[in-house]
Structure 1
Amino acid sequence: MGYKYFEEFSEEATNQMKENFSSILTGVGEDKNREGVLKTPERAAKAMQFLTQGYTMDAEKIIKKAMFKEDYDDMVVVKDIELYSLCEHHMLPFYGKAHVAYIPNGHIIGLSKIPRLIDVFARRLQVQERLTHDILEAINNTLKPKGVAVVIEARHMCMMMRGVQKQNSSTTTSGFRGQFEKIETRNEFLKLISSDLA
């Protein structure tokens, strides 16, 4: 049995966006009837639904589905989690890595749910500052750990492709709650995400 790839799209949304993308092609001076772009409006409509699927996801349900009672009370760090999002100002991509840590308070979360949680918020029109805050608060409010920390490092195509066109710039945002507001705990986390332990 071979690999089967499956995506589900709203027919209504696809048709509406197809018309809009067709108008964009005309607006930029492209011949929308040219062979190479005949199917571009439909492809773009489906791509946009995929890239913004976070609007249909529930972060709290994802966390609660994989919460387990555990007496472990030391730091849990998941670092270098790839993320891709769309800037809400220009609808251009920004991409990078997220580093997440928490200190359990009676419950742990399945490790795969942390990257999944990041996708819930990254797959929306975003700004990096709010993305950081959304991830932080979802973990803090649902898992209720002793502390949680989130750091995101990202490159923004709206700065690289247009505007100031600075190719090597990156943006770092961070958020800390609970025990991570203490400098020694925060420093331990920052040291762990900056070191190569493998």
Structure 2
Amino acid sequence: MTPNVAEHPIARLVPRETPGFDRDRAEAAVEDLLQALGHDTDDAHLGDTPRRVVSALREMLTPEEFSFTTFPNEAEYDEVVIVRGIRFTSLCSHHLLPFHGVADVGYVPGDRLVGLSKLARVVDWHARAPQVQERLTVQIAEELEERLAARGVGVVLRAEHICMSMRGARVSGTTTVTSAFRGELATDAAFRAHFRAAGMSDQEEPWRTS
């Protein structure tokens, strides 16, 4: 009998431990940085900035615990399951500036199906860390491959990087696309083509606002 993965010890994704977190030190560091950049932290608009910055970074870099709930594949469904347009935001590990976009995540089921919202939660869990998009893509794919024992896994991320659009090259509106395929989605051209077609059919960029 296939074990109930929802009750398996590895079926919970818990927050990464940060035993070294020191709020007072972090706030002092932000204040020192602002002063070193030539800004007056006694200014009314900057007085509480160190606390706000630390709180914001803490929120963006702390994933929420959740259960990776799965169900028996009683109907023996054997086609690709895809959740498109999962919005995410992460912080570039090189500049600590945001990159944001959408993820298309899918799998070819084996004995188990996963609750669809959990695919979005896996994306969010790994995005809440200093990241590079390539590593984030692989981490999501590997997480699903390990926990779901699927026949195949596919992940495509499309994101705009603020560190590229607001500084450096200053090229706004560009999109970086990364992908990771495992199992039958890596070896079966028809499965992979279906995944890419489903993910790429909508040309809108839903993370943008007018």
Query: With structure 2 as the length reference, what TM-score do the two structures score?
Result: 0.82
- Partner Cα distance (1:139, 1:156) in 2: 25
Counterparts of 1:3-152 in structure 2 under 5 Å?
A: 13-54=22-63, 62-63=67-68, 66-70=69-73, 71-152=76-157
- Partner Cα distance (1:111, 1:167) in 2: 33
Structure with greater proportional helix content: 1
**Number of residue pairs aligned between Structure 1 and Structure 2:** 180
Q: Cα distance, 1:108 vs. partner?
A: 0.8
- Partner Cα distance (2:82, 2:52) in 1: 37
1:72 touches 1:106 (CA, 8 Å); kept in 2?
A: no
1:94 touches 1:154 (CA, 8 Å); kept in 2?
A: yes
Match of 1:184 in 2: 190
Match of 2:160 in 1: 155
Q: Cα distance, 1:195 vs. partner?
A: 2.5
Aligned residue identity for 1:132: T
- Partner Cα distance (1:42, 1:137) in 2: 35
Q: Cα distance, 1:28 vs. partner?
A: 1.3
| Deviations 1:72-108, CA, capped at 9 Å, x for gaps | 2221100000010000011111000000010110101
Give the alignment's Cα RMSD to 1 decimal.
1.5
What's the % identity of the aligned pairs?
36
- Partner Cα distance (2:107, 2:165) in 1: 33
5+ residue gaps, structure 1, are 1-9
| Deviations 1:112-155, CA, capped at 9 Å, x for gaps | 11111111110100000000000000000110101000000011
2:80 touches 2:191 (CA, 8 Å); kept in 1?
A: no
- Partner Cα distance (1:62, 1:133) in 2: 21
- Partner Cα distance (1:32, 1:72) in 2: 60
Stretch of structure 1 that moved more, 14-23 or 127-136: 14-23
SS in structure 2 opposite 1:49?
A: helix
Q: Cα distance, 1:36 vs. partner?
A: 0.8
| Deviations 1:136-178, CA, capped at 9 Å, x for gaps | 0000011010100000001111111111111122110001011
Counterparts of 1:169-180 in structure 2 under 5 Å?
A: 169-180=174-185
| 4+ residue segments displaced more than 4 Å | none
